[in-house]
Amino acid sequence: MSDPVPYGAFQDSTDQTAASTTTAYAVTFNTTDFSKGVSVVSNSQITVKSAGVYNFQFSIQLANTDSQIQDVDIWFRKNGTDIANSNSKFSINEKHGSVNGHLIAALNFYVQLAANDYVQLMWATTNTGVTIEYLAAQTSPTRPATPSAIMTVAKVDESSTSDVYASNQIQGQCTI
């Protein structure tokens, strides 16, 4: 039986780095905040138990330690294959003095999935000085930690949970 309203909220509390500018990396998530019918497998595969259309929303805290503006591409993969037309390019400001350049990359994307399909968020950068950065809680003023990555997932197509149609509904009864 499928979950009537699958959802998930995930985040990561580590810095994520790129060892090469010619390699794509999966964004990882090490914390599950909420989950019903959606889970993280192998730290990066957002897996759904039931078929349907899902809205994937992410925010990524990017930092640039280089003295030049650098770019990051972020896109979606479904079951190990890049999803066409899902890439976005973000330019991160250069470091100024001792202050790294920062940018929050965020967007949402709808994906049609079958039961047990998974989606990964991928990234690549033009410079290895760009990281997906976690920031611990801070003081003066006090403020909470900044996750390096946040992903929320919600099923938006309720018609795909079942092929059953109910009509003539009255309290306690219906015609199927």
pLDDT digits (tens, 9 = 90+) for 101-160: 999 999 999 999 999 999 999 999 999 999 999 999 999 999 999 999 999 999 998 654
* Per-residue pLDDT, 163: 46
Cis peptide before 141 (omega within 30 of 0): yes
163: CB partners within 8 A, 6+ apart: none
Q: Does the pLDDT of residue 165 top 50, yes or no?
A: no
Cβ proximity of 143 and 37 under 8 Å: no
* Per-residue pLDDT, 169: 53
Percentage of the chain modeled with pLDDT above 70: 88
CA nearest neighbour of 24 among 16, 32, 34: 16
Average pLDDT, the chain: 92
Confidence of residue 164 (pLDDT cuts 50, 70, 90): very low
Would you state the torsion angle of the CA atoms of residues 46, 157, 51, 148, taken in this order, to the nearest 10 degrees? 0
Model's pTM, two decimal places?
Answer: 0.87
* Per-residue pLDDT, 157: 85
Give the pairing type, strands 70-78 and 88-92: antiparallel
